[in-house]
Structure 1
Amino acid sequence: MQEQPVLSIKNLSKQYGEGCAHCEAADAQLEKNFCPHCKTVYACRNISFDVYRGEILGIVGESGSGKSTFMKSLYFDEEVTTGEGYLRDFEDGQTNIFTQSDQMKRYIRNTILGMVYQNPMLGLKMDFSSMSNIAEKQIAAGNRHVRNMEARSLSLLEHVNIPLHRSKEAPKNFSGGMQQRVQIAKALSNNPPILLLDEVTTGLDLSVQADVLDLIKSIQREFNISMIVVSHDLAVIRMLADRTIVMLNGEIIEHGLTDQVLEDPQHEYTQQLVYSLL
């Protein structure tokens, strides 16, 4: 019996603009993912893939390839234009999450998905204490037991190597690497089966990057959590991802096992990406 994916995405598209006869034609002449006639941007075009329990899926591509727009769409920060998404932990994977009410989308965000943004200011309240940030996610999921929330928050902060004597300190006083670790702790607070990580090492010093990547890998092993990791850095993808998707101009141009994609790239763009590192 074939394993059911924890997440299945089918033909997800996201466009900014109404489109026109030129860009909606079968032989549309776009400039990358942009229509020069009506100025519509096709940020994601017919994205489809599955993610399985305990797997890390990497999404790699240059700036503007659509990978971050996809992550925002999956976490309901953006409304998809068309497409379907199914979560095994939501109605047994039978219901399209993108057609749900705002209330149900909030429930999915708060209980099934965890998100770590590239910019910690999007994922954390910088003036609240680290403990309060983690508790906020638990409260949103319906937890009302203060002692349990405190214990969970301290346990997670310890897990991500934040000194407990700083647990009541605001993240605005922390370094970039520490802010990312608080974000990871917050995202894990309700034991989500799927964690989304969007360019989480960008802008960090190399030694701090290594610490954050080691933390992500250890969390994945310990909790058997599924992850989607977006990065423009192939070294990050090589270290973390079991399978990799390569995006260009809003489309998936290559996918496969990470070793296979990086050792024997088939698409010309992937070849350029890989060889630029050599």
Structure 2
Amino acid sequence: MHEEPLLQVKHLNKQFGPGCSHCHQVESRNLKKNYCPHCGTVYACQDVSFELFSGEILGIVGESGSGKSTMMQCLYFDADVTSGAAYINDPELEGKNVFDLSSQKKRYIRNHKYGMVYQNPVNGLKMNFSSVGNIAEKLIAAGNRNVTDMETTSKTLLEGVHIPLFRMKQEPRNFSGGMQQRVQIAKALSNNPPILFLDEVTTGLDLSVQANVLDLIKNIQRELGISMIVVSHDLAVIRMLADRTVVMLNGSVIEEGLTDQILEDPQHAYTQELVYSLL
């Protein structure tokens, strides 16, 4: 029985700049890393394709500038793609390229199908709203109007991410980095999304706090069976979380496979370097 992927991304391209005669043609493109030295166009994502299956954590690893965060922004509609397609396995969206949908429909997907945890909590939270207010905002966007329901849901979520309830009326700007990330995770989970995006969520956190956040993510995945895409430049994070891993370099996918297989037998020279730096 062949399982249908929950999310399929096909030939995603994102460029910054108009391109020129030197870089328009993919075959003859002569880039420095991922930018054209002639016109300065950056090819942040080049023909990126992958699949995400139900209940799995897919890791996307690569150095800074490899295109992984840009790819995530495109998927979450924070940035427009240059070209490409993405399909969600959902009766309402069957066979529809989500990049081509109206902004209203994209907003619906963001509010009902996706959750997003940004590297910088400032992008995912309103710092001058209370923690409960942040979660309520996401619930209202998803069509919830019942205040009692929203408060109950918010409490359950905050408890689930280990935020003490006596602090739930406080603003995230008064929280530590680790706590802000946990509030962001609670907010992202509030609409029960089938797909959760996590972009460099442990960067800048102390090691012990990182471990707590990673444990939390692992437990949420186990309990709720949500499918996740985890982007990181840190292979140790990917090793702890991901079932399968995609390796990106200069905007392209250079290797993919089961995480264990990639860690034990990396094929590409860049992946080998990444793995040896872990040892």
Relative to the length of structure 1, the TM-score reads: 0.99
Pairing 1:136-155 to 2, within 5 Å after superposition: 136-155=137-156
Deviation at 1:194, TM superposition (A): 0.3
Question: 4+ residue stretches of structure 1 with deviation over 2 A?
Answer: 89-93
Deviation at 1:2, TM superposition (A): 1.2
Determine the structure 2 residue equivalent to 1:18.
18
Report the more deviating stretch, 115-124 or 89-98: 89-98
Give the Cα separation in 2 of the matches to 1:88 and 1:136. 26
Q: Would the aligned equivalents of 1:160 and 1:215 in 2 still touch at CA under 8 Å?
A: yes
SS in structure 1 opposite 2:278? coil
Deviation at 1:176, TM superposition (A): 0.3
Deviation at 1:20, TM superposition (A): 1.1
Give the Cα separation in 2 of the matches to 1:90 and 1:68. 28
SS in structure 1 opposite 2:54? coil
Deviation at 1:90, TM superposition (A): 5.7
Give the Cα separation in 2 of the matches to 1:109 and 1:93. 17
Q: Report the identity percentage.
A: 71
**1:14-66 deviation line (CA, Å, top 9, x unaligned):** 00011111112322110011001111000001111110110000000000000
Q: Would the aligned equivalents of 1:120 and 1:183 in 2 still touch at CA under 8 Å?
A: yes
Gaps of 5+ in 1: none
Residues paired across the two proteins, number: 278
CA RMSD for the aligned pairs?
0.8
2:165 counterpart letter in structure 1: L
**1:221-261 deviation line (CA, Å, top 9, x unaligned):** 00000000000111100000000000000000000000001
Determine the structure 2 residue equivalent to 1:50.
51
Gaps of 5+ in 2: none
Give the Cα separation in 1 of the matches to 2:207 and 2:84. 38
SS in structure 1 opposite 2:255? strand
Give the Cα separation in 1 of the matches to 2:211 and 2:94. 35
SS in structure 1 opposite 2:46? strand
Pairing 1:33-182 to 2, within 5 Å after superposition: 33-89=34-90, 91-182=92-183
Give the Cα separation in 2 of the matches to 1:91 and 1:215. 31
Q: Would the aligned equivalents of 1:59 and 1:247 in 2 still touch at CA under 8 Å?
A: yes
Relative to the length of structure 2, the TM-score reads: 0.98
